């Protein structure tokens, strides 16, 4: 009789857990913690990748997965920074961008803009990358809990290398 009781308890616990499954909201491709990654943001990242590769080239699953991982990683950084009360100001991003232009392009705005066109990036893309870099640096050594990530069906990236 005891094995049946254990089995019944296991089934009750399993049935109770099923109702808690995290659902990605409509219009989103992933859920990071309770922050959705919108399909529009994903499509914008894919458009950036297309510009960088040339619009005539189809995007591979690897590129699509990398775009989604980038968005998920950036959202994770934002959540962890919020948990740790770490922030990055616009002034910090501006200063890092000025330093980048000075060291990489000799301060020549035209050369910077030409490089943006060649790579299919925008200044907003560069600013987002700088912000993520500054947040990651500020969070080094800070203990935070990584938010859970749930992908919408069909958007689960392949395991990296």
Residue 17 within a domain: no
* Mean pLDDT to the nearest integer, 126-130: 94
- Count the domains in the chain: 2
* Mean pLDDT to the nearest integer, 44-60: 79
Q: Are residues 150 and 135 in the same domain?
A: no
Residue 3 within a domain: no
Dihedral angle of Cα 132, 135, 141, 147, to the nearest 10 degrees: -70
Residue 3 has a pLDDT of: 40
pTM of the model: 0.76
- The closest of 157, 148, 136 to 34, measured between CA atoms, is 148
Confidence band for 1, pLDDT divided at 50, 70 and 90: very low
Domain ranges, residue 107: 87-141
Residue 15 within a domain: no
Residue 1 within a domain: no
Q: What is the pLDDT of residues 20-37, one digit of tens each?
A: 357 999 999 999 999 999
Residue 4 within a domain: no
Q: Are residues 78 and 93 in the same domain?
A: no
Residue 11 within a domain: no
Which phi and psi angles does 131 have, rounded to 5°?
Answer: -60, -45
């Amino acid at each position: 009789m005891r094995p049946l009781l254990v089995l019944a308890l296991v089934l009750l616990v399993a049935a109770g857990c099923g109702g808690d499954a995290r659902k990605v909201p409509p219009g989103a491709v992933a859920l990071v913690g309770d922050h959705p990654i919108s399909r529009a943001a994903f499509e914008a990242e894919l458009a950036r990748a297309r510009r960088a590769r040339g619009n005539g080239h189809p995007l591979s699953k690897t590129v699509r997965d990398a775009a989604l991982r980038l968005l998920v990683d950036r959202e994770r950084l934002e959540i962890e920074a919020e948990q740790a009360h770490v922030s990055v100001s616009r002034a910090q991003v501006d200063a890092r961008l000025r330093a980048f232009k000075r060291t990489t392009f000799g301060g020549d705005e035209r050369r910077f803009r030409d490089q943006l066109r060649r790579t299919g990036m925008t200044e907003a893309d560069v600013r987002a990358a700088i912000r993520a870099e500054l947040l990651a640096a500020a969070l080094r050594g800070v203990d935070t809990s990584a938010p859970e990530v749930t992908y919408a069906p069909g958007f689960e990236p392949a395991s990296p290398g």
